[in-house]
Structure 1
Amino acid sequence: MAAHFRMSDLGALSYYLGIEVRHGKEELMLGQSAYASKLLERSGMVECKPCVTPMEEQLKLTKASTTAKVDAALYRSIIGGLRYLVHMRLDIAFVIGYVSRFMEDPR
């Protein structure tokens, strides 16, 4: 490709579109820990404890809630970020799909 296009060598890839790339001897490891940390900061959940299951069992959420409304733009932004995080964390895919149902009118 260098024969046909003007190119510059930027070295080994280490971070691209929120995905960290670590080069091992025989493997290439991808991760999103920095992206997830930024998402936790933006949502105000840095101090929350981690859990094994991403969602309480048999949790029923409804649109008819009596809780105060939240900032819809922030909610959509966080859900969008979580949807991007699903590429590396398939264990949260169901939960993100579930809470995505409430993007129109979050409470």
Structure 2
Amino acid sequence: MTECKPCVTLMEERLKLTKASTTAKVDATLYRRIIDGLRYLVHTRTDIAFVVGYVSRFMEDPREDHWAAVKRLLRYVKGMVDHRIIFPRTGESWLQLTVFSNADMTGDIDGRRSTSGVLVFLGSVLIS
């Protein structure tokens, strides 16, 4: 995937993958190796955590549609490799942490389980 076209979104909007997929099987060993590498990358790239967790559900029997989601994630990582988070130090402000959480009730097609997510903002606030 060294010559792939980078993308700016992690996954398709409203993507619903299932373990009961009827698409062609893919190489399970390669799929697992890629997922393992992405799980390691989550430690420094928390923006991919949800999608890595989502595609990890299909490591037992990966299919073409699961593989397509992983390839899109790899294209996103390639496109965002130069992005960084910088917290500049200023004397006139302090950092404020804001956290939101949500869950999609029974969003998992296979087990009817909920998937939760967290959104974290860390921003500077001027002291007045």
TM-score (norm 2): 0.47
- Post-superposition Cα deviations, 1:35-76, rounded to whole Å, max 9, x if no partner, equal xxxxxxxxxx22221111111111000112222111111111
Q: Is 1:101–2:57 an aligned residue pair?
A: yes
Distance 1:77 1:56 in 2: 22
Indicate the structure (1 or 2) with the bigger Cα radius of gyration.
1
Distance 2:38 2:61 in 1: 18
Instruction: Kindly indicate which of the two structures has a greater share of residues assigned to strand.
Output: 2
The aligned length equals 63
Q: Give runs of aligned pairs for residues 1-107 of structure 1, distance below 5 A.
A: 45-107=1-63
Give the partner amino acid of 1:98: Y
Which runs of 5 or more residues in structure 2 are unaligned? 64-128
Distance 1:48 1:66 in 2: 26
Which runs of 5 or more residues in structure 1 are unaligned? 1-44
Distance 2:23 2:54 in 1: 18
TM-score (norm 1): 0.55
Give the partner amino acid of 1:97: G
Give the partner amino acid of 1:83: R
Structure number with the bigger relative contact order (C-alpha 8 A, sep ≥ 6) is 2
Distance 1:88 1:77 in 2: 18
Identity, % of aligned positions: 86
